[in-house]
């Protein structure tokens, strides 16, 4: 697919935004200003931003515990995200969800999910709903290599295939299911390879090349919009941070992380591409970085200034009709 210069710069800025958001979230977490636990996707920005960039606002996304990138990619507001991370009442979920349960139904985000593989069945329902309402929306369910081994994945692939639901199963294979290498957990060694069993297309993609991600996801989306059914896309990527912030990461070496960072960082790679094409000047880069820093700074401030919920707000929002 063709990507204009303007679009490319916008993609670059969004990738930087996700990274800045997560680096800041990590810092605040270490300062004990964010309660609970958070899972960062630093290193996976090409996958989240590339995928979301080919979707329309009315398309659906089901996200995961590592979902900040999907949120920002799909158009969620970093200010309300930070407010939610701080457990404030102006957060997306009024402080009831936290990092793991951010949702913004107004831009088609059906929620991040704390259960690994929890998004598949929900996306089946959204796909069914699209089909019954006869619209041309599509749905993307993000998942990791770990979730590919849940029964929900297989049930959902099968059901989406037989009902020809407009769904893209978007695997972000970052090589580790929590702390266990997918080399060990993933029979057959490939998530995309499993598509054959369901008679649907499966694509393994260099998930750190944002333009490649866009090309492949775009194909799968176009197919789904035409009513031809689901696809599996497997973005091969890598996360630099632990499974959760504070993860001692005994399962891999710092050398391994450094190698990935040096050789295939999605932002650096895209930057080189932009520079080669003459789209990104040093001045422009500085300006974009400044804009992003300002945006995230304001978002953090918004979150910190936001009021805490009243304790008894815990009793609200359970039922529409209690």
Partner 1 sequence: MSNREISCSTALREALEEEMERDDTIFIIGEDLVAHGGIFGQFEGLPERFPGRVIDSPISETCIVGSGVGAALTGMRPIVDMHFADFVTTGMDEIANQMAKIRYMFGGQAKVPMVLWAPDGGGLSAAAQHSQSLESWFVHIPGLKVVAPSEPSDVKGLIKAAIRDDDPVIFFQHKRLFAQTGHVPEDEYIIPIGSAAVKRPGKDITILTYSRMTYLCLEAAEQLAKEEIDVEIVDLRTLKPLDFALIAESVKKTYNVLIVHEACLTGGFGGEIAARIGEELFDYLDAPVMRIGAKDVPIPFSPVMEDFVLPKVSDVVEGVKKVLNR
The interface region with partner 1, picked from 108-116, 187-195, 233-241, 292-300 by CB under 8 A, is 108-116
Judged by CB under 8 A, the number of residues near partner 1 is 47
Among 42, 126, 138, 274, which residue sits at the site for partner 1 (rule: CB under 8 A)?
126
* Rounded least distance, CB 36 to partner 1, Å: 13
Q: Within positions 31 to 60, which residues make up the interface with partner 1, using CB under 8 A?
A: 60
Angle at 273 between CA 23 and CA 239, to 5 degrees: 30
Among 118, 146, 202, 207, which residue sits at the site for partner 1 (rule: CB under 8 A)?
118
Distance CA 247, CA 170 (A): 25
- Is residue 110 involved in binding partner 1 (CB under 8 A)? yes
- Is residue 295 involved in binding partner 1 (CB under 8 A)? no
Would you say 19 and 227 are in contact if contact means Cβ atoms under 8 Å apart?
no
Among 35, 36, 151, 197, which residue sits at the site for partner 1 (rule: CB under 8 A)?
151
Among 115, 187, 284, 308, which residue sits at the site for partner 1 (rule: CB under 8 A)?
115
* Rounded least distance, CB 135 to partner 1, Å: 10
Among 50, 69, 78, 97, which residue sits at the site for partner 1 (rule: CB under 8 A)?
97
Is the Cβ of residue 115 or residue 284 nearer to partner 1 in the bound state?
115
Token pair 């300006």 is found at 287
Is the Cβ of residue 152 or residue 190 nearer to partner 1 in the bound state?
152
- Is residue 130 involved in binding partner 1 (CB under 8 A)? yes
Residue 179 tokens, joined: 């702390």
Reported as type and span, the H/E element at residue 202 is strand 202-206
Phi, psi at 233, each rounded to 5°: -120, 130
Would you say 88 and 34 are in contact if contact means Cβ atoms under 8 Å apart?
no
- Give the rounded distance of the alpha carbon of 38 from its chain centre: 14
Residue 78 tokens, joined: 């970093």
- Distances from the Cα of 157 to the Cα of 138, 228, 259, 312, angstroms: 15, 14, 34, 41
Among 13, 94, 228, 269, which residue sits at the site for partner 1 (rule: CB under 8 A)?
94
Among 92, 198, 238, 302, which residue sits at the site for partner 1 (rule: CB under 8 A)?
92
The interface region with partner 1, picked from 69-77, 124-132, 202-210, 272-280 by CB under 8 A, is 124-132
- Distances from the Cα of 242 to the Cα of 42, 168, 175, 221, angstroms: 10, 27, 12, 31
The interface region with partner 1, picked from 31-39, 93-101, 196-204, 278-286 by CB under 8 A, is 93-101
Distance CA 303, CA 205 (A): 36
Closest CA to 68 of 320, 299, 322, 302: 299
Binding map of partner 1 across residues 155-174, x = CB under 8 A, - = no contact: xx-xx--xx-----------
- Is residue 143 involved in binding partner 1 (CB under 8 A)? no
As a dihedral over the C-alpha atoms of residue 202, residue 204, residue 207, residue 209, rounded to 10 degrees, the angle is -110
Would you say 67 and 84 are in contact if contact means Cβ atoms under 8 Å apart?
no
Residue 278 tokens, joined: 């003459």
Is the Cβ of residue 151 or residue 297 nearer to partner 1 in the bound state?
151
The interface region with partner 1, picked from 107-115, 174-182, 267-275, 295-303 by CB under 8 A, is 107-115
* Rounded least distance, CB 146 to partner 1, Å: 15
Residue 138 tokens, joined: 């599509």
Distance CA 48, CA 65 (A): 13
Residues that bind partner 1 (CB under 8 A): 60, 62, 91-97, 101, 103-105, 110-111, 113-115, 118, 120-130, 132-133, 151-152, 155-156, 158-159, 162-163, 316-322
């Amino acid at each position: 697919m063709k990507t204009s210069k303007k679009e490319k710069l916008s993609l670059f800025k969004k990738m930087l935004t996700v990274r800045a958001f997560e680096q800041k979230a990590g810092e605040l977490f270490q300062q004990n200003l964010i309660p609970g636990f958070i899972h960062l996707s630093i290193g996976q920005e090409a996958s989240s931003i590339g995928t979301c960039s080919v979707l329309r606002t009315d398309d659906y996304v089901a996200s995961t515990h590592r979902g900040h990138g999907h949120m920002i990619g799909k158009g969620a507001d970093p200010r309300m995200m930070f407010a939610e991370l701080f457990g404030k009442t102006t957060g997306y979920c009024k402080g009831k969800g936290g990092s793991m349960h951010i949702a913004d139904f107004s831009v088609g985000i059906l929620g991040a999910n704390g259960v690994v593989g929890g998004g598949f069945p929900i996306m089946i329902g959204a796909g069914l709903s699209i089909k019954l309402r006869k619209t041309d929306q599509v749905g993307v369910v993000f998942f990791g290599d770990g979730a590919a081994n849940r029964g929900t994945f297989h049930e959902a692939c099968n059901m989406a295939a037989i009902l020809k639901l407009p769904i893209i199963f978007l695997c972000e294979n970052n090589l580790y299911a929590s702390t266990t290498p997918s080399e060990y957990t993933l029979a057959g060694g490939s998530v995309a390879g499993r598509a054959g069993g369901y008679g649907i297309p499966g694509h393994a993609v260099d998930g750190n090349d944002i333009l490649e991600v866009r090309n492949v996801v775009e194909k799968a989306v176009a197919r789904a919009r035409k009513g031809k059914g689901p696809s599996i896309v497997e973005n091969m990527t890598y996360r630099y941070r632990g499974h959760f912030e504070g993860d001692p990461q005994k399962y891999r070496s710092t050398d391994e992380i450094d190698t990935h960072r040096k050789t295939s960082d999605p932002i650096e790679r895209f930057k080189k591409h932009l520079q080669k094409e003459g789209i990104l000047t040093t001045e422009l880069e500085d300006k974009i970085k400044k804009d992003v820093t300002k945006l995230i700074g304001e978002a953090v401030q918004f979150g910190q200034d936001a009021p805490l919920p009243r304790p008894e707000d815990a009793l609200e929002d359970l039922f529409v009709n209690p």
